[in-house]
Amino acid sequence: MRHQSATAHELARIAELAGLPGETLARLGEQMERRELAPGEALDASGRFGVVLAGMVRGQAGLLRPGDTFAESVTALTPATVASCERTLYESFVG
């Protein structure tokens, strides 16, 4: 199965990433792992940088919607799409 990644367009909608050049977003997106979560499905993102691309998830910070970021375990409340990568990789792109 082909690795699914996040697109530069999707990442540009994330407030923390909006100021990065398109080429940088594209390179970061290629390194991110995209996951489709069913309601009730959990994802352990400890030590990772994650973004909600679609749907709603609940994390330690509460309800997360598209455009929100997370670095902990999340559970889908609705069908959701998230993308994540190692935190150190994210930090190498944002400085």
* Mean pLDDT for back-to-back runs of 10 residues, the chain (95 residues): 77 91 94 96 94 96 95 97 95 89
Q: How many domains does the chain have?
A: 1
Structure tokens at 69: 């970021």
On whether the CB atoms of residues 38 and 76 are closer than 8 A, the answer is: yes
Q: Tens digit of pLDDT for each residue in 63-90? A: 999 999 999 999 999 999 999 999 999 9
On whether the CB atoms of residues 64 and 58 are closer than 8 A, the answer is: yes
pLDDT number for residue 69: 95
CA distances from 77 to 41, 47, 55, 56, 83 (A): 8, 22, 8, 6, 16
pLDDT number for residue 43: 95
Kindly report the CATH number assigned to the domain that includes residue 31.
2.60.120.10
Is residue 1 in a domain?
no
Is residue 20 in a domain?
yes
Is residue 13 in a domain?
yes
**Could you tell me the residue range of the domain that residue 19 belongs to?**
8-94
